[in-house]
Amino acid sequence: MVIVKISTKGQIVLPKKIREDLDIKDDTYLVVERIGNNILIKKAEARFDEITKMFSEAVKKKGITKEELLQYLKENKNEDLH
């Protein structure tokens, strides 16, 4: 077990050994979940840039403009996505 300290900006540093063992690099996305009084940090299953690329391609294919997408997001920002 390793104890880390939260910075004034709310950041933590993952120990080098853990980063190496899990192949976590500066472009790796992590999922952060609260489970009761605990925090779980795990590698994201799909990289964020891969997901956004697929999303971007789907939006272009459907002919949705940036303005339409932004308007939709603005109107539905409080909707449950489940």
Global pTM value: 0.52
| Co-location of 7 and 31 in the same domain | yes
Q: Residue 44 has what pLDDT?
A: 85
Q: Residue 37 has what pLDDT?
A: 96
| Co-location of 1 and 31 in the same domain | yes
Beta strands in 1-82 (DSSP E): 30-35, 38-43
What is the number of structural domains in the chain?
A: 2
| Co-location of 34 and 53 in the same domain | no
Tell me how far apart the alpha carbons of residues 80 and 75 are, in angstroms, rounded to a whole number: 12
Domain that holds residue 77: 46-82
Classify residue 11 as left (phi > 0), alpha (psi -120 to 50) or beta: beta
| Co-location of 20 and 35 in the same domain | yes
pLDDT single digits (tens) 37-65 = 999 999 887 777 778 888 889 999 999 99
Phi, psi of 22 (to 5 degrees): -100, 5
